[in-house]
Chain A
C-alpha cells in the first residue's frame, strides 16, 4: 500500500529556493521552540495540543492522520526511559555503529 504520509523533508515556501537544504527546516524548528518561550510546562502542553488539532484539521485527510498517529506512537513505545547507564556498562563506540542509509 502506498503511504499517504509525507516523511521526506517538506518545509519551505512554495517557489522559493534555498542555498542550504537545511534552512527551511531550521526556520520552522526555531519558530516552534520560540512559540514556547516563557511558558511553563502546563502551558506548553496546552500549546502542543492546540497545535496538533489545528494542523490535523488543516491536513484533514484521515489516511494521512492515521499513518501519522501510528508512526508517532511506534517511536514513543520503543523509546527507552532516561538512561542512567554507568561507565562500566558502556559499549565501546566502535561497536555501536550500525549502518543505516539516510
Chain B
C-alpha cells in the first residue's frame, strides 16, 4: 500500500544502568508508554522541572490509522505543552458535518465555535503526526529521558507505608525485598537489546494503551462491555476534492444505498488522506474484509466509479466501553486508554487522555515538592473517573444510536432520522457522535463553592474559556529604556496554565483600592505562588495607573472576558495550573484565596469534603445564556 508518511526511527541507546548492576537506580517519576498520553505526561512534568524517564518498547510513532480528531481543549493543552501550533498547521480544521439517511441528506450542522477563541472546535490529524510533534518537543526538554526500545517486563509496587497501596496485588512479591523496598513507589524491570535493568520510581505513570500490559500484570480490573460489532477503517489517498469548494467536512451516513443497513463515516485528514469507516456487523470476517479485493469495491460503490484513490491503510476493529474502578493504585497512576476506553464516536479517546495528564502533572509536581499531601493524587483519580464516566455515557449512547441492537431500537432510530429533515427536535436527537468537550469537574472536592451569584458557566471545576485580549510588549527586554511599551493582540488562555493564576477584573490599575493591593501582595511569594493577571475593561493602551509589581496586565478590549466570566470590577477567579476554575469571588479577600488554594491542593480543613452537586449538566446558579457553544457532533 501507498504511504504518505515516512515513519521516523528513533535511536535506541544503551542505558547507563547496565554498567552498575548492583546500584539502586532511583527516579522520582517513570512514565511507561510514549503514545500521545505518555508523551504529554512526560512533557508536562519535565516542563515543571521534574526529571522523568519515559520508556517505550518501540522506536517509532503510532503505526497506521488510529486517533484522528483533536478537540479545542486538546489543542489548548498542546499549546501549553508547546505542540499546539504544528498540530493546527498540519491538521485539517473542519466545522460542517452532514448527516445522510439512505439516499438523502437529512441535515447538517456547524461546529463553528462562537468567535473569539484562539483554537477551532476540531482539527483532524493522523496520530503519527501528533506523536512526532510531541516526540520532538520531548527531546528538547533537558529533564526528559526518552528511551526507545526499552520494554517494561515487570512492575512491582512498593506499598510500604502507603495505605492506598495496600490493595495492590504484588505488594508482597519478591521485588518488595529488594533494596529500597522500604519506601513507597514501584520497581520497574526493563529489557533492552543489551540486557535487563531495574529502576526504582517514587511514582509510576502507566500510559501503555488499551491492552495495558502493566495493568494486566498487576491483575487490576477494568470493567465495562464489549460492543458486538465490527468496523472497517480504510484510509485512502485521493487528490480529488470530495466536498463542495474544497471545504473540509464530516459526512455520516445511516443505511446508505452503497452500504445498506449499516453506517459509514468519512473524514478528511492531512496529506490528501481520507478516513472511511464502514460498520460491518458482528458476523463479518475480519481477515476477509481487510483484503483489498473486498475493500476497493466498497469504496468504489461509495465514491462512484470515476474517482481515483489508493489504499493507504486498512484494518478491522472492535471496541469496548470500560474503565478501571480507580486510576490510582498506591504510587501507580493510570492514564489514557490504559485507564478507560470508549467507542470512537465522539473523539473521546486521545482527547480525554490528554485531559488526564493535564490533571495529573501539576498535582504530582506539588506532591513531589512536598507542597501538597500524597492524597492530592486521589483527586486525580476522582476527577478523571468522573470525566471518564461522562465520556462513557456519551460514547455508549452514540454507539447505541448508530448500531441499534433490537428491532424496536432500530425503528425508533429510523423514526428520528425520518423526522429530522423537517423537525428541529428530531435533529437534536440524531446522535452520530457527541463531540469531545472538556469535563466540568463540578463535583470535585478541590473546588470552593460559590459564595455569590455569577452569571457565567465558569463555575468552580469548569475549564476556563478563552478570550481575545491586548497584551503588553515591553519596549526593551531589560526594562530600563525610556521608550513606551507597545500593545499587541493575544489570548487570555496563554496567560494561564502551568501555575496557579488569579484573574482579577478591574477598570484599570488606578481603580484598585488599597485593600485589594494589599491582598495581592502576598500571593506571588506564598509557598505555592499565585500569579496575578489583571484584566482591565478600560481600553486605553495603557490603562490608567501603575500595574502592581509582578502582575500581568491584559486589556479586555472586546469585553469578551468580562462576558464569559461575568467579570465585574473586583471579580476574582482562582485558576488551577490545568486551567480549571478552583474558586471565584466578587471581591478579593486574601484569606479566602489562601483557603481556596489550600483546598485546591488537597489541604482541605475539616468539614470539607465532596457533597457538591453532581457532575453532569445542571447549573441552577448560572442563569445566563451559555457563554460557550454546544457543538453537537464529532
Q: What residues of chain B lie closer than 8 Å to A96, measured between beta carbons?
A: 100, 103-105
Asked if B104 and A26 sit within 8 Å, CB to CB, the answer is no
Asked if B242 and A93 sit within 8 Å, CB to CB, the answer is yes
Asked if B407 and A44 sit within 8 Å, CB to CB, the answer is yes
Asked if B257 and A33 sit within 8 Å, CB to CB, the answer is no
Q: What residues of chain A lie closer than 8 Å to B181, measured between beta carbons?
A: none
Residue of B nearest to A7 (CB): B423
Asked if A29 and B106 sit within 8 Å, CB to CB, the answer is no
Q: How far is the CA of A87 from the CA of B299 in the complex (A)?
A: 9
Is B478 positioned at the interface, with any CB of A under 8 Å from its CB? no
CB < 8 Å: which of A19, A33, A86, A91 contacts B412? A33
CB < 8 Å: which of B105, B297, B427, B431 contacts A98? B105
Asked if A93 and B412 sit within 8 Å, CB to CB, the answer is no
Q: How far is the CA of A70 from the CA of B119 in the complex (A)?
A: 45
Q: How far is the CA of A18 from the CA of B434 in the complex (A)?
A: 14
CB < 8 Å: which of A7, A19, A45, A88 contacts B440? A19
CB < 8 Å: which of A6, A15, A76, A102 contacts B427? A102
A16, A19, A36, A44 interface centre (most CB from chain B within 10 Å):
A19
Q: What residues of chain A lie closer than 8 Å to B429, measured between beta carbons?
A: 25-26, 29
Q: A7-B425, A16-B620 are contacts. A80–B251 as well, Cβ < 8 Å? A: no
Residue of B nearest to A28 (CB): B429
Asked if B630 and A16 sit within 8 Å, CB to CB, the answer is no
CB < 8 Å: which of A22, A32, A36, A91 contacts B257? A91
Among B170-178, B194-202, B302-310, B546-554, the one that faces the other chain is B302-310
Is A48 positioned at the interface, with any CB of B under 8 Å from its CB? yes
Asked if B632 and A23 sit within 8 Å, CB to CB, the answer is no
Residue of A nearest to B632 (CB): A22
Asked if B105 and A21 sit within 8 Å, CB to CB, the answer is no
Q: How far is the CA of A89 from the CA of B98 in the complex (A)?
A: 22
A6, A39, A82, A100 interface centre (most CB from chain B within 10 Å):
A100
CB < 8 Å: which of B251, B400, B415, B626 contacts A33? B400
Q: What residues of chain A lie closer than 8 Å to B108, measured between beta carbons?
A: 99-100, 102
Q: What residues of chain A lie closer than 8 Å to B421, measured between beta carbons?
A: 100
Is B109 positioned at the interface, with any CB of A under 8 Å from its CB? yes
Asked if B617 and A8 sit within 8 Å, CB to CB, the answer is no
CB < 8 Å: which of B257, B303, B423 contacts A83? B257
Asked if A9 and B258 sit within 8 Å, CB to CB, the answer is no
Q: How far is the CA of A39 from the CA of B314 in the complex (A)?
A: 38
Contact mask for chain B residues 423-462; partner A; CB cutoff 8 A; 1 contact, 0 none: 1110111010010010010000000000000000100000
Q: How far is the CA of A86 from the CA of B620 in the complex (A)?
A: 52
Is A92 positioned at the interface, with any CB of B under 8 Å from its CB? yes
Is B616 positioned at the interface, with any CB of A under 8 Å from its CB? yes
Residue of A nearest to B300 (CB): A87
CB < 8 Å: which of B301, B408, B457 contacts A87? B301
Contact mask for chain B residues 83-109; partner A; CB cutoff 8 A; 1 contact, 0 none: 000000000000000101011111111
B407, B457, B618 interface centre (most CB from chain A within 10 Å):
B618
Q: What residues of chain B lie closer than 8 Å to A100, measured between beta carbons?
A: 105-108, 421
Q: What residues of chain B lie closer than 8 Å to A16, measured between beta carbons?
A: 617-618, 620
Is A58 positioned at the interface, with any CB of B under 8 Å from its CB? no
Residue of A nearest to B240 (CB): A94
Is B255 positioned at the interface, with any CB of A under 8 Å from its CB? yes
Residue of B nearest to A10 (CB): B425
Q: How far is the CA of A13 from the CA of B421 in the complex (A)?
A: 26
Asked if B304 and A92 sit within 8 Å, CB to CB, the answer is yes
Asked if A30 and B419 sit within 8 Å, CB to CB, the answer is no
Q: What residues of chain B lie closer than 8 Å to A15, measured between beta carbons?
A: 620
Q: How far is the CA of A29 from the CA of B412 in the complex (A)?
A: 9
Q: What residues of chain B lie closer than 8 Å to A2, measured between beta carbons?
A: none
Q: A71-B423, A92-B307 are contacts. A102–B261 as well, Cβ < 8 Å? A: no
Is B244 positioned at the interface, with any CB of A under 8 Å from its CB? yes
Q: What residues of chain A lie closer than 8 Å to B486, measured between beta carbons?
A: none
Asked if A36 and B302 sit within 8 Å, CB to CB, the answer is no
Contact mask for chain B residues 599-629; partner A; CB cutoff 8 A; 1 contact, 0 none: 0000000000000000011111011001000
Q: How far is the CB of A53 from chain B (nearest CB, A)?
A: 17
Residue of B nearest to A24 (CB): B617
Q: How far is the CA of A33 from the CA of B464 in the complex (A)?
A: 35
Is B394 positioned at the interface, with any CB of A under 8 Å from its CB? yes
Q: How far is the CA of A41 from the CA of B102 in the complex (A)?
A: 24
Is B320 positioned at the interface, with any CB of A under 8 Å from its CB? no
Residue of B nearest to A89 (CB): B257
Asked if B622 and A75 sit within 8 Å, CB to CB, the answer is no
CB < 8 Å: which of A21, A45, A71, A87 contacts B297? A87
Q: How far is the CB of A27 from chain B (nearest CB, A)?
A: 9
A-B contact pairs, 23 of them (CB 8 A): A7-B424, A16-B618, A17-B617, A17-B623, A18-B617, A19-B437, A21-B630, A21-B632, A23-B617, A26-B431, A29-B416, A29-B429, A36-B409, A48-B408, A71-B419, A71-B423, A82-B260, A86-B301, A87-B297, A90-B256, A90-B304, A92-B303, A100-B108
10 closest pairs, A vs B, by CB?
Answer: A87-B301, A92-B304, A85-B257, A90-B258, A44-B408, A9-B428, A7-B423, A16-B618, A21-B630, A75-B418
